[in-house]
Amino acid sequence: MEKLTNKEEEIMQILWKLEKAFVKDVMAEITQDKPHYNTLSTIIRKLEDKGFVAYNAYGKTHQYYPIVSKEAYRKKFMNTAINNYFNNSYKNVVSFFAKEEKISVDELKEIIALIEKQD
């Protein structure tokens, strides 16, 4: 599974949310930097080529739906990011977020509690 571009990820977020959608439905969900209809259609077809979406044909129009789950993509993306940027260390990940003040002490305690429950 390959990494998606930012625009492709944006489109996939919409498709994961809608579950099934025509290009016009996806277009209606885009709030900023709306691409031209044909550009959006091309992006969705690229997602199909990459194996992320499939479609049901209704005459000349296609209703697209994700075939890669959000969870599967998130897992792959996170594992790759942790490997590439944090030397495959979850401790380094948590430390990074703590130093950047993106995670609070209370949240860290919750994480520890979750880990302890699994033992």
Q: Supply the pTM of this predicted model.
A: 0.76
Q: What is the DSSP string of the chain?
A: -PPPPHHHHHHHHHHHHHSSB-HHHHHHH--SSPPPHHHHHHHHHHHHHTTSEEEEEETTEEEEEESS-HHHHHHHHHHHHHHHHSTT-HHHHHHHHHHTT-S-HHHHHHHHHHHHHH-
Q: Domain ranges in the chain? A: 6-66, 70-118
CATH code of the domain occupying 6-66? 1.10.10.10
Q: Is the pLDDT of residue 80 over 70?
A: yes
Give dist(CA 43, CA 28) in Å, integer.
Answer: 15
Given a cut of 80, whether residue 101 has pLDDT beyond it is no
Whether 64 has a pLDDT exceeding 80, the answer reads yes
DSSP state of 103: S
